[in-house]
Structures are given as structure tokens and as C-alpha cells.
């Protein structure tokens, strides 16, 4: 792919603006997506952090659930952070029965896994595919991954020193789908978005070859 990929940010709820800014800085042409026609025009999509059960409801209201599910299943490069990871997961623990996701990632995640007392915490993570110093990871009522299927690559785990969270999987990749429990869009460190854009380019070049 030459030029800047057009990357949609699902804009029904959540920290849409932060992802639009991070994507533009990382070298994409970001666009908010609220309609099927907008989704049809993107090379890739980001599902932002926010509230996964609310986003699930809005996806149905805006008639985006099926179109998104179909495009992801047919290989649309997709990045989900936090609530976005929950929407991509095949199985979600501790959620509402009617909170349907879009699939794409063969993992089981637990919502609000870090404990109700600890709403948010930060730590430094080594993330596979991100070079340089560790990534400052901000977790806000975040999920973690409890099961990874075949074909899912673990990109990061919580380092020791965080009690029950030690060793928990918090970043994964399956094919062109990337997901993180944390929010790189809020720290100003563009390296996770850059990793995603490399995946977008690889996927586009693969399609042409």
C-alpha cells in the first residue's frame, strides 16, 4: 500500500477522539464510523475504549453489528482497545447476556477483571512488535485475557508486582486483529498505533500479492 491507509474509528461511544488523533499522528487518514456506508470505505477499523455493553447495544441500533462482524470475518484489519477487546472476544466472562460482540479473536476475556476497588492502574509493559523502551500501559476498568485459542499470539503480560494481575495476558494478535486491555491512545506514545498500521499495510500488500 502506498499512501495513508483510511482507518475508521467506531464512533458510537467511548474515546473516539483520542484514537482519531493517535491514528493521524501514526500516519493514517482516520475517519469516524457510524454508518454502514462509512464502514465500507475504510481499509481498517479501531474499536475504542468505552463501555462494551453500551457499544453492543448501539451497534444493533445503528445496524452496524452484522456489517462489522462480516467485514472482520473477511479479514478487515481491526484494533480493539479495552471495551474494543471485549467486543472482539469470542467469549466474555462477567458481562450481560445480551451484550453481543463482533468476533474475530479466539480468546476468552474477563470484564472489569482487575478488581472493583482498583478502577485503574498503570504499569510498564514489554509488547512484542514494539521496539524501544517499555510501553506505559493505562488500564481503566480493564478486561484481561483468560484463554487464548490456537493462532492467537500473546503480545504482552502484566509483569510481577501486581498481585492477582501478575502474568495476565493484556495484548494479543490473531492474523490482522490486534487487541489491548490498555489504552495507548491516552498516553501520547504512538507505537501501538504504528504497530497496527504496519499490520494494515501488510494485510493490503498481501491482498495485492
Which positions lie near ligand GLN, rule CB under 6 A?
49-52, 82-83, 86, 111-112, 140-141
Query: Is residue 141 a known part of a binding site?
Result: yes
Task: Write down the catalytic residue from 19, 43, 183, 193.
Answer: 183
Query: Is residue 27 a known part of a binding site?
Result: no
Decide whether 5 or 171 has the Cβ nearer to ligand GLN. Answer: 171
Least distance between ligand GLN and beta carbon 51 (Å): 5
Query: Is residue 96 a known part of a binding site?
Result: no
Least distance between ligand GLN and beta carbon 181 (Å): 9
Contact 127, 135 (CB under 8 A): yes
Residue 162 known to be catalytic: no
Decide whether 102 or 140 has the Cβ nearer to ligand GLN. Answer: 140
Decide whether 13 or 176 has the Cβ nearer to ligand GLN. Answer: 13
Decide whether 111 or 193 has the Cβ nearer to ligand GLN. Answer: 111
Task: Write down the catalytic residue from 18, 19, 185, 193.
Answer: 185
Residue 82 known to be catalytic: yes
Contact 45, 68 (CB under 8 A): yes
Least distance between ligand GLN and beta carbon 166 (Å): 21
User: Which regions of 98-174 does DSSP assign to beta strands (E)?
Assistant: 105-110, 120-125, 135-140, 144-148, 153-157, 169-174
Q: Which residues pair with 120 in a beta bridge?
A: 140
Contact 170, 162 (CB under 8 A): no
Inter-axis angle of helices 16-26 and 191-208, nearest 10: 70
Task: Write down the catalytic residue from 18, 19, 82, 194.
Answer: 82
Least distance between ligand GLN and beta carbon 112 (Å): 5
Name the nearest CA neighbour of 135 among 80, 209, 185, 69.
185
Query: Is residue 50 a known part of a binding site?
Result: yes
Q: What burial class does residue 38 get, using C-beta atoms within 10 Å of its C-beta: 0-12 exposed, 13-18 middle, 19+ buried?
A: middle
As given in the structure block, the three cell numbers for residue 3 are 499512501
Least distance between ligand GLN and beta carbon 183 (Å): 6
Decide whether 176 or 181 has the Cβ nearer to ligand GLN. Answer: 181
Rg of the chain over CA atoms, in angstroms?
16
Query: Is residue 81 a known part of a binding site?
Result: no
DSSP SS3 for 157: strand
Contact 120, 140 (CB under 8 A): yes
Query: Is residue 176 a known part of a binding site?
Result: no
How far, in Å, CA of 21 to CA of 121, rounded? 23
Residue 185 known to be catalytic: yes
Tell me which residues are annotated as active site. Answer: 82, 183, 185
Q: List residues forming the annotated binding site.
A: 50-52, 111, 140-141
Amino acid at each position: 500500500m502506498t499512501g495513508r491507509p483510511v482507518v475508521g474509528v467506531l464512533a458510537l461511544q467511548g474515546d473516539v477522539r483520542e484514537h482519531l488523533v493517535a491514528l493521524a499522528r501514526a500516519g493514517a487518514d482516520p475517519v469516524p464510523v457510524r454508518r454502514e456506508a462509512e464502514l465500507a470505505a475504510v481499509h481498517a477499523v479501531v474499536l475504542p475504549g468505552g463501555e462494551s455493553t453500551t457499544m453492543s447495544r448501539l451497534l444493533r441500533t445503528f445496524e452496524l453489528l452484522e456489517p462489522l462482524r462480516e467485514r472482520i470475518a473477511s479479514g478487515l484489519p481491526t484494533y480493539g482497545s479495552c471495551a474494543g477487546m471485549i467486543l472482539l472476544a469470542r467469549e466474555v466472562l462477567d458481562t450481560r447476556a445480551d451484550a453481543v460482540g463482533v468476533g474475530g479473536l479466539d480468546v476468552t476475556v474477563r470484564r472489569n477483571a482487575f478488581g472493583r476497588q482498583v478502577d485503574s492502574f498503570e504499569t510498564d509493559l514489554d509488547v512484542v512488535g514494539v521496539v524501544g523502551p517499555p510501553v506505559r500501559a493505562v488500564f481503566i476498568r480493564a478486561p484481561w485475557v483468560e484463554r487464548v485459542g490456537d493462532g492467537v499470539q500473546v503480545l504482552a503480560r502484566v509483569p510481577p508486582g501486581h498481585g492477582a494481575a501478575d502474568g495476565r495476558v493484556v495484548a494479543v494478535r490473531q492474523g490482522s486483529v490486534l487487541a489491548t486491555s490498555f489504552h495507548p491512545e491516552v498516553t501520547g506514545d504512538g507505537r501501538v498505533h504504528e504497530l497496527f498500521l504496519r499490520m494494515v499495510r501488510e494485510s493490503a500488500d498481501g491482498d495485492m500479492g
